[in-house]
Structure 1
Amino acid sequence: MPHLVPGQPSSAEITWQLSKVIADSSQKIRACEDENQAMRQVLEVAPIGYLQVDEETRLLWCNAQASHLLGIQPPMQEPSQQPRLLLELVRSFELDSLIDMTRQRQSLQQRDWVLYRVFPDPFHPRHEPTYPLRGYGVPLARGQVGIFLENRQEANQLIQQRDRWTSDVAHELKTPLTSIRLVAETLRSRVDISLQGWLDRLLNETIRLGNLVEDLLNLSRLGGEDFQGLNLKPVDLPQIIQTTWQSLEPLARVKHIDLVYEGPSELLINLDQALFHRVLVNLIDNAIKHSPPHADIYVRLGLIS
């Protein structure tokens, strides 16, 4: 019979304590497995795609949405099945770059791109749709990375419809506003002096609405698919400043505000004349709006070496 040292637990007590620790650990493992299974069930029915890769960028798991977007089959869950490299399943440089960036920086990363399906068999080509995707990379433990994939096709279509509607409305408003402004300018010199204030107010509001319409058209042009870049050409800055002031002079006349120009009589600069005109209109319009009556607006033009 083994000799027991006073104060030391017996072998039976040690066995009971080990059994209790093993039971508690098994219970915690089962709880973690249940939580993991529940999380996978949630991700499986999520409206966005999710995939998870290991430290060697081998596909561990993906949900149905990611499988649909990427055109791949979910990996087998059998223990004997070795995970395959993601590059073997999906030929996407942007997706690989997002995974590498997430792993290197160990922080949430985001990237937008258009996924073009590439199938290696030239004798049996498959024509699959392309998707504008937005990916979010999440760093995980042991070098693993989780990727959320969002199909941006519907969002892009809504943006295009919104831009098209904005452009159509702006074009429809431009013609009647121009007509109203011409009528107001013609009537101003033909009506009684007591009524000219009403025409000035009508003319001022028409100019402001016209400026808003021009802003909408410019925004639509800049954000549209047909935008080919800035239309750069030599423009005489003093001339465009004078033209801008002439279009806003009716607003300044109400507050008895004058423009004081300081600079050369001619200065040619390469720029987009239409866009720069809008910039000047906004600047001078704000100056008129926030200046007190009988003030001067100074415009200084020069070259800075």
Structure 2
Amino acid sequence: MRLDVRGKLFLVSVLLVLSVVLVAGGYLEGQIREWAHGRAQAELLAQARVGRVALAYDTAPADAVADELGAASGTRVTIIDRSGKVLGDSELAASELATVESHDDRPEVVDAVAHGEGRAVRYSATLGTDMMYIAVPFTAGAVSGTLRVARPLEEMDAAVRRLRIALGIAGLLSLAGAVVLSGLASHFLARTLRTLVADARRAVEGEEPRQPSETPDEPGLAGSLNRMAAELESTVGMLAAERSRFEAVLESMAEGVVAVDQAQQLTLINRAALGLLSLSIEHGGSTLAERIPIPALLELVQRALAGQPERREFETRTTPPRQVLAYASPLRNQQGAVVVMHDVTEIRRLERVRRDFVANVSHELRTPVSIIRANAETLLDGAIEKPEIARRFLDAQLRSADRLAALVADLLEISRIEAGTYEMSPDEIELEPIVAHTIDEVERLAQEKHIEITSSVAEDMTVWADEQALEQVLLNLIDNAVKYTPAEGKIRVRAARRGDMVRIEVEDNGPGIEPRHRARVFERFYRVDKGRSREVGGTGLGLAIVKHLAEAMKGQVGVEPAEPHGSIFWLTLPAASD
């Protein structure tokens, strides 16, 4: 059944009154029940204290005292000694006390002993009803323990039920009065609305404009409603368009934006800030300190709220941490602040790499250049006239020049790889011939140190790689193994298929690499033992070139400890398809 305007207004009024009556009734019932419980607890506590005083002066048996106190107060009185044994109970005969279990674990008794007063509301198995308990400690001569006073909750429940009936009757009377009043009000209001609707319908149907009908007590109502609706619609449309443009600009920004009010409650977070700080979308009602507990950011926002724009750089607590440059400024109306955050992690990393690279290259170049300069000065000072001495200095110069040439060549090589200009021609490559050729390249150095190199690479093992790059990678790995393996050592080269990849391993029984160095051995110029590295030669770029070439061939490299000692440098490459 469809209701007209008058019926809907009447129904809404009735439902509103009924809701108010129900909510008010429920609230009053809860308040009165709480008041009744509090009143009952206060009375029981007073009776318990009076009973404690009576115990101190009454020399009669405990059960007799409990019976007298229970009869006088209309409550159940229980006297419990320190061990939890029931000495007297107003609801039990003296002969029944021996069968009562220990009360030392009752909540009210435990609280009374610990805090001087105990309270509990629970079901009594002895009386079979819900009871309210109050317990206090007592001392009567040589006897000490706990005096407990209890009362059934039935009386309070009965009072609450009577109150509920009274509230129901009052609510029905109020509802009846409200029904009458709302009926009259809806009648008069519906008549006015029907007149307005009729005027609007005539205007829509194209009839001649006429003066809107008005009642004497509502002058200009129709015109005011029309103007207000038109202005409201226009304002809402403008605000919606502005908000859409603002959100589009905000979400398209690469910088993170966070806005807070004067209480540092979050009012706005764009998508870039959520990603930068690893936050969820929900932020309503939370403060900046709760969602983003970064002290530097909080101090920055506090200064902005005080009217002092400031810029600061800090590190996030995400995994991995990010380096953020933030600029905070107060809003024009001084009702908050806005923070714009730039992710400068990559910029700082590149700056650190550049500084390390310059420092390392300068250090690596300084030694051979110093040797060449010193030898040249010595030769010019007269050593050139002594052939046996001059030859030694010239040999040192040649070795330093070779080292400089190798360093420059490796620098050019790694720069080509990183720049993507290294020409790769991947193809199906048989692995065993390349391993055998690489072993032949280092065989002379291995024989000088009496190092045995063995290969267990299958003849049919194939990989998808660039032949020249693969040979350079294997040469660097095996050559390093020979250099750092002591005399009489052993080196093993093996390969195995693992799914779609082939894993190549170069294992030695040298001194090994400590765990703290393994993650960095593939960095440029990183040396585990600088003294040992200078002794065996090398530019410090070999393993860095290995890593870049492996990644360029869609593979990976790593290092693991060997048992019982030594290292395993491994390389994975895509297996050639069948």
Could you state the TM-score of these two structures normalised by the residue count of structure 1? 0.45
Structure of higher RCO (CA pairs closer than 8 Å, 6+ residues apart):
1
Q: Report which of the two structures shows the higher radius of gyration computed on alpha carbons.
A: 2
TM-score between the two structures when normalised by the length of structure 2: 0.25
